[in-house]
Homo-oligomer: A and B are copies of this chain.
Amino acid sequence: MKSPQVAFSEYLANENLKMTPQRRLILETMLKQGDHVSSEELYARVKKKDPSIGQATVYRTLKLLSDSGLVEPLDFADGVTRYEPSYGKEHHDHLICEKCGKNIEILDAIIEHRQEAIAKEHGFTLNSHKMYLYGICSDCRKE
Given A75-B75, A98-B127, check contact A122 B136 (CB 8 Å).
Answer: no
**Shortest Cβ distance from residue A112 to the other chain B in the assembled complex, whole angstroms:** 10
Q: How many copies does the complex hold?
A: 2
Cα A62 to Cα B131 with chains together (Å): 24
CB of A19 within 8 Å of the partner chain: no
CB of A123 within 8 Å of the partner chain: yes
Interface size class of A (residues with CB under 8 A): 20 to 34
Question: Is the beta-carbon distance between B126 and A135 smaller than 8 angstroms?
Answer: yes
Question: Is the beta-carbon distance between B95 and A118 smaller than 8 angstroms?
Answer: yes
CB of A56 within 8 Å of the partner chain: no
Q: What B residues does A135 contact at CB under 8 A?
A: 119, 124-128
Question: Is the beta-carbon distance between B125 and A141 smaller than 8 angstroms?
Answer: yes
Cα A124 to Cα B141 with chains together (Å): 9
Cα A106 to Cα B137 with chains together (Å): 27
Residue numbers of A with Cβ under 8 A of B are 75, 77, 95, 97-98, 104, 106, 108, 110-111, 114-115, 118-119, 122-138, 141
